Structure 1
């Protein structure tokens, strides 16, 4: 018989054994109670069923684990579709292809920052199974890596012997956009079932607290909830840590994820060398990868006086400044074409491009060009502008802008008003002043409360509120809930005081928010068989334990109490972990909605059922239905899971009252993303550029209106 057939037989035997053991045990106890048999003897007889019951339960669990086996080829193909769709949409928001991709060129990285070319070729040839690409395509030396943007996929896949690459460049040189182009090219090149390139932002990784593989698995699960689903884990893992062998870990362990690690320089400087060492230890030599970093920060990390740490087996490229011709053509084309009146507005500026003047330096990078064209090439507006459109000639005034730093500050300051200029079919929902205030607060939050990280995660917003205030608010909310329900059946003042006391004790003991949850789903497609099975188990437990307890505390309260718990358990068996579609990527708003749904379905449903069941059971037994609202309230408090949504809600309420944030914060973040002020990386937002975040964080608070 095939293994799958054995599994089905094992499942049927397990379920039938559970039902048989449960019914016989419940029947034995019922007869003992009815005919006054000795309780001890009957209980001893019933205990003989414990062995078969345990075996049947383990068989059932074993079948559930085996059922999780999946086809990794199909998983990688669906994941590749999701990743491609995600970054096509993000490239559109970032206007990467509007009016056309800005050309970026590179040279080979400085030899002291990477491995020697001879070592790389020798290393690739000696790998088990041979090199990952055709040695005939390798250049004679590292200088052969020099090329331009459109050929980054070819350079990485065919010219780098080890397929391990470090991408270096100055601030704003276009490293992140180059990684997007590389990701799209690699997905277009990948065969069915091949590794999936995934872009990770290192800003949220702490190598002192979490291994790289674990951190990447967490990022994959949050961005693609389908990777929470169990995988075909080794037998040893089934009995020890099955949660460690979901699809995210399975893909990483099978080297079916090709990491593109961005934002190395956004880690704290003290962690740079530590992070490099951790990457070397976590990823084997034959694991392809890409690491992007600023040149100065990477050089400081690898050229320390106490130790030298390079990325093992990696070649390197260094991005070059945009040429004068490229920058001039780009600005004129974005203004409508070289022969339009709008394009001629750039004549004075283009004369300085490629020079050492302040404006020439500032507009020598893709970031500077993006800011300048957003400010000085306005798009059609809904209403006439309230002030004249600024002219790019002002950038050439060395009295006002004596150095590059002043030009950069001006571009960052002018970018927010330009991004919130009325466009499209309706006026902006938020004014320039409101947007500047909110963005400044968020930037200060990231710099001051989150250690300078670039990841704007909604579930970490509670760090912007004082801990005592946060816990007090949670306690007050829970206390008012108990007070309201208790006041329905007793004197209101007594209910209010007792409720507030219970709630405050519960809240002050600790209410820090957890990471968002994405696994629990109410699946309308849950089969009737699964739901019936859950109810049978629930009733079985209720009868068995209820009758047993009934010998001691009275059959009425025992049956009522444990049948309530048994029914809740059976009902919750109908709540399953629905398998999310791997072809979709969960962004910040969707992740918040999922976490809120878990709060409502998992917490409130369980709390209502458990509270109602316990309240009614005790109420019938004691004859005092006043205990029902308190049982309901306590059930709600105990049933509400520690979801991230609860912490987000209380923190947002506090910050809205303090005039730090708008009430519809998630809508604001989505709007800022569409306007190009923020970018989205999986489940988090980031500022368009880390330097924009740092610039806003340095502004005075509260900002001037």
Structure 2
């Protein structure tokens, strides 16, 4: 392309003026332009560009959306919600008295509390009457004037699965929106109400604390403040799943507190518990929608989807029964996503699935569901093409899960808190083993060190005495019953936050100065550099005592002050827990205890050796001082490392359970594997059985085993 000057001469266009300036790509920016302005006689072109940088909160919301999407895409894959295509989600407005009037939710003729999301229309009464599927559910979520949606249904109705699919749809809708509209579309975040005390924390404070624990974006006080800003500005919408698992009075208090929340809400609950909650407290402006049973034609299409074009006869018989007898036993049993998913897990493509048509063996829908639940564990741990090879046999897995289910049912809970596992066995064998190991190590070290300093007989006597004393103390320390909930993370930033580090430096400087002044009048005063070197552990221990690492030094001689006197200091200077990973679950917390807290325990031992050794060497000479520092360091490292470590106690308990109950030795690894196989799930820092009915079924006393699927096949009906 060329331009013409006033003299009529053709000249090439100034392409450099039309090309945007080069440089690094700007992510999540808004570009407006180019704008061309031709001035003068037509031979000059000025091009202006305007680049609008995203606001800090918008950038934080975008980063949070990416983290949430990554987490729940993975979770949806574990639940097999995306592949094959999920069962259709259908809903209708609940006819039960679960919330206020519908008019309060749609705010027709009144001022809406939340405007519709960009690109969506305001929800109306007619929309609610029609009901619909997942697409209409998202439109209701984004167009409801009250911003309060209750998703209810009977047990095993697929409530959590529907909430996960809705969350992923909301994330995709936000990602596809125009940049100028994206800031007005909140990021959906799913949380569990586990651990929330509505009498102590407002909904925003509680949500900000949970976000700080689960996402690195919100680490530290600044991160928590950023989370509060996102919540207060409506850039986050909360999906709260598991409200029905909270005690009645506490559940009512939570619902009452959520009425004042400044962000959109989606509450997921069983219908029965929602009705009981509504008698105490109703969510103002909330609209309750109930998930509908799976239609027989949808169930048949889902079951036949992964099969060849010409399905095996057994599957044709079953699906024909579904379609021809929509009110029959099989159709009623397969009216929920749980039973349908279990059916695909228990029976492979060539399995005798038509044995479920035997009304003698399976007279009721409950009998079919029990049959599927009884074989769920074996199906999950049976090797199949395209799936990871199981690490445990079906018999071992079922034995372990039965023991766990019985324990939880006996305690009246669904939460498997791994730090409570040490209470499942007698602590005395564990304490004896730990004391013996520590005693032998300490005695051997004491004899080896003292052998060079004194008579061999005295070395053996003193070393043995040290070993016995150390073993007794370690055994008593390791025999403590299960502790309280551990830190959500034992990360470096949790323990060495700037506030506690400043306290440690202050203590180190003044302690070193005082030690030098005390020894200065001697004939041979200790050098100032040695005083500061030997008092470094004082600053280190002060950092731990005043922060979240106080448990590491409690009970050791460098942990003086780690009792209740320092509680107020610790509360003031400890920052909110920080996660070293994108999301924190039970496995992550256990690994933090076993790995990082063990390493910190060794560092505490080094600090003790450094506290005692240098001055002892200066006063008593090299051999004696070195021996004193080495013995003090090893002893402290053992106490601060493995002896008081909840992760180690859990691992030792797993060995006891394996010897007594036949459960896997690596119990925590087994629990994580069971989660990946869709038998367990995580709720915050605890495990739960994926379905309450599965825990109920496994907790029953062992009876005569039911025949494996297909061992007593029923004669199939004639093929059509």
TM-score when normalising by structure 1: 0.73
1:675 paired to 2:677: yes
CA deviations 1:341-369 (Å, max 9, x no partner) are 564252454256531x4322211111111
Residue matched to 2:287: 315
Q: Decide which of 437, 444, 450 is 2:399's aligned counterpart.
A: 437
Taking a change above 3 Å as real, the CA distance of residues 607 and 178 of structure 1, as seen in their structure-2 partners, is: same
Contact 2:422/2:653 (<8 A) preserved: yes
1:217, distance to aligned residue in structure 2 (A): 4.5
1:259 paired to 2:238: yes
Contact 2:427/2:479 (<8 A) preserved: no
Taking a change above 3 Å as real, the CA distance of residues 586 and 676 of structure 1, as seen in their structure-2 partners, is: same
1:410, distance to aligned residue in structure 2 (A): 0.5
d(CA) in 2 for partners of 1:617 and 1:596?
Answer: 33
Contact 2:490/2:589 (<8 A) preserved: no
Contact 1:175/1:292 (<8 A) preserved: yes
d(CA) in 2 for partners of 1:71 and 1:668?
Answer: 42
Describe the SS at the equivalent of 2:517: helix
Contact 1:273/1:302 (<8 A) preserved: no
1:123, distance to aligned residue in structure 2 (A): 9.2
d(CA) in 1 for partners of 2:183 and 2:410?
Answer: 45
Describe the SS at the equivalent of 2:413: coil
Q: Decide which of 408, 411, 428 is 2:369's aligned counterpart.
A: 408
Contact 1:611/1:634 (<8 A) preserved: no
Q: Decide which of 590, 593, 596 is 2:594's aligned counterpart.
A: 596
Taking a change above 3 Å as real, the CA distance of residues 649 and 193 of structure 1, as seen in their structure-2 partners, is: farther
Q: How does 1:420-435 map to 2 (within 5 A)?
A: 420-424=381-385, 427-435=389-397
d(CA) in 2 for partners of 1:135 and 1:227?
Answer: 30
Contact 1:550/1:558 (<8 A) preserved: no
CA deviations 1:55-97 (Å, max 9, x no partner) are xxxxxxxxxxxxxxx9443332212111101111111111112
Taking a change above 3 Å as real, the CA distance of residues 499 and 183 of structure 1, as seen in their structure-2 partners, is: same
Q: How does 1:109-128 map to 2 (within 5 A)?
A: 109-110=94-95, 112-122=97-107, 125-126=110-111
1:674, distance to aligned residue in structure 2 (A): 3.1
Residue matched to 1:392: 353
d(CA) in 1 for partners of 2:56 and 2:639?
Answer: 39
1:468, distance to aligned residue in structure 2 (A): 6.3
Residue matched to 2:307: 335
1:694 paired to 2:696: yes
- Greater shift, 640-649 or 627-636, is seen at 640-649
* Greater share of residues in helix: 1
1:480, distance to aligned residue in structure 2 (A): 5.3
Contact 2:512/2:535 (<8 A) preserved: no
Residue matched to 1:563: 533
TM-score when normalising by structure 2: 0.72
Residue matched to 2:139: 154
d(CA) in 2 for partners of 1:141 and 1:696?
Answer: 45
Taking a change above 3 Å as real, the CA distance of residues 354 and 550 of structure 1, as seen in their structure-2 partners, is: farther
Residue matched to 1:224: 215
Q: How does 1:8-87 map to 2 (within 5 A)?
A: 71-87=56-72
CA deviations 1:329-350 (Å, max 9, x no partner) are 1112233346565642524542
RMSD, aligned α-carbons: 4.3
Q: Which runs of 5+ in 1 are unaligned?
A: 1-69, 233-244, 379-388, 527-531
1:458 paired to 2:459: no
Taking a change above 3 Å as real, the CA distance of residues 599 and 169 of structure 1, as seen in their structure-2 partners, is: same
CA deviations 1:377-416 (Å, max 9, x no partner) are 34xxxxxxxxxx6412221222212222222110101222
Contact 2:297/2:323 (<8 A) preserved: no
Describe the SS at the equivalent of 1:137: coil
d(CA) in 1 for partners of 2:191 and 2:596?
Answer: 26
CA deviations 1:142-165 (Å, max 9, x no partner) are 73361112332112111x221111
Describe the SS at the equivalent of 2:469: helix
Q: Which runs of 5+ in 2 are unaligned?
A: 1-54, 175-181, 451-458, 550-573, 708-720
Residue matched to 2:513: 544
Taking a change above 3 Å as real, the CA distance of residues 398 and 254 of structure 1, as seen in their structure-2 partners, is: same
Contact 1:164/1:313 (<8 A) preserved: yes
CA deviations 1:113-159 (Å, max 9, x no partner) are 2211223344994467878789963313573361112332112111x
d(CA) in 2 for partners of 1:369 and 1:432?
Answer: 21
1:100 paired to 2:62: no
Contact 1:163/1:288 (<8 A) preserved: yes
Residue matched to 2:22: none
Residue matched to 2:347: 376
Taking a change above 3 Å as real, the CA distance of residues 680 and 578 of structure 1, as seen in their structure-2 partners, is: closer
